[in-house]
Structure formats: structure tokens, C-alpha cells
């Protein structure tokens, strides 16, 4: 158990809908990262937040957005869902940002199925 | 651009040694990570290299050559539970960013 929690574990929804995925980082960690893992692709970096501020963006679609709240939990919002959005969505956290050795601890993931 | 290459699949025998290679081309380099991921589960951290050379951690070792854009993960005394995907990830940026770029992963099957 990494200490990172994600809810829900599974989510099944229809095309065109909107969903919110939630992540609580490890106690004391200020950084939260979101990744998408599809069957045919590796882990794709989506976005990084540090202490409430967006720090880096990857290949995140405009239909997706995220935020980190004052209590450091984060939410990933996916809208106008398409079949291709079906994937495992992982959240990871780390203590800080910077050039130091900074392992990311991954949560158990949310499996999203779009029908 | 950014590119990370690893073999898609490997097989090995219980008790043996296996080496999983990773080559990378990224805009900037600020560390290379190896993660293990069992099917449907979260990736778990195995090792980190930022300087050239070998880092050893029990049955697992990781090597880095920055000039060659090359790393390998060495697994010794293989056990059945080592059957998993092994992900190579590069942190390309410095200056406060901890974004990781992952390779597609190498699926390792350990046979008795």
C-alpha cells in the first residue's frame, strides 16, 4: 500500500458523459501527478500539481481538466467522454518537486470504461 | 522529441538472471527510474539512476550510461512473482519539474 488513495476503483459510463476521479496523496506529499494507461499504450503523463498550482502538462486533452485543493487532494475531470478514453487512470504523489531524487508513489488507479 | 524504447516481451527461467534494456532520447535528462507493474495494479518503484554506473538493491540492479542514452535493469535469482511489466521512465526536465516519461514497458514471464 503506497498511501495514495483513489476513488472510485471502477467507473462505467456512456459516451458524452462527464466523470470526476479523485486522488488523495500520501500524508505530507505536496505534489500530485495524473497518468493515463490504455491497453495499447504505456503510462502517459497528463498533468502535475504542486501545492495547489499546476506545474507541468503532458498530452492532456482539452476535454480533461484537473485541480488540486487546499487539503492537497486532487480531482481529474473528464468530459464529453469518448470510447477511446477507456483506460486506467493513475494518480501519483511525491514529497516535493525539484531536482532531488523524487520517487513517485502510485495509487491503485481508477478503471474507466466508456460504453 | 522524446522517445523511450524497451523490448515488448521477455521470458526467463526461475532462478536465472535477466537483463531488460532501455534506450532513451529526451530533451534534457534529470534521472531515470525503473518501476514494476503487475497486471491491473499500480506501478511500484524499483530503482533510480541519475549518474553513470550501477545501483544495486538486493536482487535488482540498474545501470545507466548517459552518453549512450542507455539503461538496463538486472534481475537475479528470478522468482515466479517477478512475472510483471517493467517500466523504464525518464525525468527529462530540471528546474523544479518532476514529470516522468514512461516507456511502453517490458512484459517479463518467468517460467519454472
d(CA A13, CA A22): 16
Judge whether residue B93 has pLDDT over 90. Answer: no
pLDDT digits (tens, 9 = 90+) for B16-62: 999 999 999 987 888 899 999 999 899 999 999 989 999 998 999 99
Buried b (16+ CB within 10 A) or exposed e, A49-80: bbeeeebbebebeeebebebeeebebbbebee
Nearest CA in chain B to A47: B99
Task: Give the nearest partner residue to B99 out of A41, A45, A106, using CB atoms.
Answer: A45
Nearest CA in chain A to B34: A103
Residues B73 and B46: beta-carbon distance below 8 Å: yes
User: What is the longest distance spanned by two Cα atoms in chain B?
Assistant: 46
Nearest CA in chain A to B85: A42
Residue from A8, A53, A47, A6 nearest A30 by CA: A53
Question: A77 preceded by cis ω (within 30°)?
Answer: no
All residues of chain B having their beta carbon less than 8 Å from the beta carbon of residue A31 are 98
Distance of CA A81 to the CA centre of its chain: 16
Nearest C-alpha of chain B: how many angstroms from A18? 23
d(CA A52, CA B35): 27
Q: What is the pLDDT of residue B68?
A: 95
State phi, psi for A84 to the nearest 5 degrees: -70, -10
Average pLDDT over residues B73-102: 87
Distance of CA B67 to the CA centre of its chain: 17
Percentage of chain A modeled with pLDDT above 90: 78
Which of the residues in chain A have pLDDT under 50?
99
d(CA A44, CA A90): 10
User: CA dihedral defined by B22, B26, B31, B32, rounded to 10 degrees?
Assistant: -20
Q: Which of B1, B31, B43, B57 to mutate to test the interface with A (most CBs of A within 10 A)?
A: B43
Q: Quickly tell me which residue has 503510462 as its cell.
A: A43
Judge whether residue B2 has pLDDT over 90. Answer: no
Amino acid at each position: 500500500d503506497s498511501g495514495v488513495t483513489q476513488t472510485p476503483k471502477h467507473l462505467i459510463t456512456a459516451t458524452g458523459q462527464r466523470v470526476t476521479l479523485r486522488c488523495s496523496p500520501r500524508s505530507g506529499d505536496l505534489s500530485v501527478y495524473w497518468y493515463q494507461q490504455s491497453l495499447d499504450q504505456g503510462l502517459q503523463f497528463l498533468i502535475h500539481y504542486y501545492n495547489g498550482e499546476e506545474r507541468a502538462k503532458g498530452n492532456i486533452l482539452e476535454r480533461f481538466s484537473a485541480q488540486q485543493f487546499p487539503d492537497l487532494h486532487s480531482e481529474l475531470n473528464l468530459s464529453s467522454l469518448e470510447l477511446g478514453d477507456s483506460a486506467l487512470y493513475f494518480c501519483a504523489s511525491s514529497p516535493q518537486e525539484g531536482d532531488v531524487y523524487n520517487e513517485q508513489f502510485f495509487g491503485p488507479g481508477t478503471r474507466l470504461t466508456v460504453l | 522529441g522524446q522517445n523511450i524504447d524497451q523490448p515488448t516481451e521477455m521470458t526467463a527461467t526461475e532462478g536465472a538472471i535477466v537483463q531488460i534494456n532501455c534506450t532513451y532520447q529526451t530533451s534534457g535528462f534529470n534521472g531515470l527510474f525503473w518501476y514494476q507493474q503487475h497486471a491491473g495494479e499500480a506501478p511500484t518503484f524499483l530503482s533510480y539512476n541519475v549518474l553513470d554506473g550501477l545501483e544495486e538493491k538486493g536482487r535488482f540492479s540498474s545501470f545507466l550510461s548517459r552518453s549512450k542514452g542507455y539503461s538496463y535493469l538486472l534481475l537475479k535469482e528470478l522468482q515466479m512473482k517477478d512475472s510483471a511489466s517493467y517500466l523504464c521512465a525518464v525525468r527529462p526536465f530540471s528546474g523544479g519539474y518532476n514529470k516522468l516519461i514512461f516507456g511502453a514497458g517490458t512484459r517479463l514471464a518467468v517460467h519454472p
